[in-house]
Amino acid sequence: MLKITRKVEYALIALRHLQQNKQAKLCSAKTLSLKYDIPQELLAKILQKLSKENIILSVKGPKGGYKISKDPNTINMTKFFEIMEGPMGIVDCYFDSNCEQLSGCTIREPINRINNSIRTMFDKMTLADITFK
């Protein structure tokens, strides 16, 4: 319960590495997967998503790989989580209304207050809080 996904963790590990080696040329998915013991194909897809979102820059071909392309201070964690995993809420009704209980739900309001607290907390936090500190 209340877990972040492995996908997000792998993304953060990779981003931290790229951030702290940003003076270096490029770093490939393979290099990162070996260094941090992350399944290569899975990490590759994660890096592709980060690239598509212009958080990192990708270069194809031999000697290719990835490097940081956006200041991690400018990306807040709510946004980052939603880029990686879609809408973020501790219950589904925050972004989807298919809940059986919705019509007569007595806890939706208090639950949404909690939701907003968590979102606010992550809004105030940036990628740099994880990739730097």
Angle, helix 40-52 to helix 6-20, in steps of 10 degrees: 70
Could you say which of a copy of itself, DNA, ligand SF4, none residue 83 binds, taking C-beta under 5 to 8 angstroms by partner kind? none
Looking at this protein, which amino acid is placed at residue 129? D
- DSSP states along 6-75: HHHHHHHHHHHHHHHTTTSS-B-HHHHHHHHT--HHHHHHHHHHHHHTTSEEEE-STT-EEEE-S-GGGS
d(CA 115, CA 7): 22
Could you say which of ligand SF4, DNA, a copy of itself, none residue 25 binds, taking C-beta under 5 to 8 angstroms by partner kind? none
Contact residues for DNA, defined by CB under 7 A: 1, 3, 5-7, 10, 28-30, 39-42, 44-45, 47-48, 51-52, 58-66, 85
Q: Confirm or reject binding of residue 101 to ligand SF4 (CB under 6 A).
A: yes
Residue (of 77, 56, 52, 79) closest to 66 by Cα position:
56
Total residues found in the chain within this entry:
133
Q: Confirm or reject binding of residue 114 to ligand SF4 (CB under 6 A).
A: no
Task: Give how far the C-alpha of residue 127 lies from the chain's centroid of Cα atoms, to the nearest Å.
Answer: 9
Q: Pattern of binders to a copy of itself over 43-82, x per CB under 8 A?
A: --------------------------------------x-
Q: Confirm or reject binding of residue 97 to a copy of itself (CB under 8 A).
A: no
Q: Confirm or reject binding of residue 7 to ligand SF4 (CB under 6 A).
A: no
Contact set with a copy of itself (CB under 8 A): 1-5, 8-9, 12-13, 16-17, 35-38, 81, 85, 88-92, 100-101, 104-107, 110-111, 113-114, 117-118, 121, 125, 129-130, 133
